[in-house]
Amino acid sequence: MTDRSDPSTWTPRQLRENCPLCSACQELLHTAVCNLNLSSKDHDQILRAAKLNAQKDKSASINPSHLTDAIDAYRLE
């Protein structure tokens, strides 16, 4: 059984349901996807990392700094 509080185990559908993004985050992620030519799998990987960053900060939602950190980490891979 998977841990529902662990984003690394979530399906793409669960990510969409559990990771609502503010308009600034939506725009930031869209720009990254377009500029870095990311796949949907890459998109989900970044979103998972951003959610984990938010959880580490004890934040209920993803903010632009969580997303920026996740994008930067992806680019370093």
Neighbours of 57 (CB within 10 A): 12
**pLDDT for residue 77:** 83
Q: Running along the chain, 77 residues long, what does each successive block of 10 average in pLDDT? A: 78 94 98 96 97 96 98 93
Cα-Cα-Cα-Cα dihedral sign, residues 43, 32, 65, 76: positive
**pLDDT for residue 4:** 74
Q: What's the whole-model pTM score?
A: 0.89
**pLDDT for residue 1:** 42
Cα-Cα-Cα-Cα dihedral sign, residues 53, 43, 60, 69: positive
How many whole angstroms separate alpha carbon 19 and alpha carbon 48? 9
What are the sequence ranges of the domains in the chain?
A: 39-77
**pLDDT for residue 5:** 83
